[in-house]
Amino acid sequence: MSSAGGRGVHGIVSSGREEHHVERHFDIRKQIMLGFFNGREQYDVLIDPGQGTLMFNGRDIYWLTDNEQRMSDTINNAIEIWLSDGSIEEVLVPSSASRVARSDGPSGRKHEE
């Protein structure tokens, strides 16, 4: 399967010679296991539904919970596996994560009094 000029499972958008990674967000629907490394040892954490969300940038999987973003050492192929078995479901970017400071002027600068 190919998706020329589109976004594949890995969240990579290709347009001509440039490729850039797109953040994709997922709700956790079934228990999953994420691997982490603390500098000395590898350890696994069981994540239940409701214990945060996942973000995937095409390279790394992040667990977003309690206002923290923890990068996992879990292989990228896990996203495709979890999607196919219903463990995770892709969602739109949460509004708080995509909110950009708005300005009052057309130049993008805030008005000063």
22-49 per-position pLDDT tens digit: 899 999 999 999 999 999 999 999 999 9
List the one residue out of 46, 6, 55 whose CA is nearest residue 27.
55
> In the chain, what percentage of residues exceed pLDDT 90?
58
Q: What is the pLDDT of residue 93?
A: 76
> C-alpha angle 26/50/66, rounded to 5°?
85
Q: What is the pLDDT of residue 18?
A: 53
Quote the CA–CA distance of 101 and 25 in Å, as a whole number. Answer: 21
Q: What is the pLDDT of residue 83?
A: 97
Q: What is the pLDDT of residue 96?
A: 54
Q: What is the pLDDT of residue 22?
A: 87
Confidence bin at 90 (pLDDT 50/70/90): very high
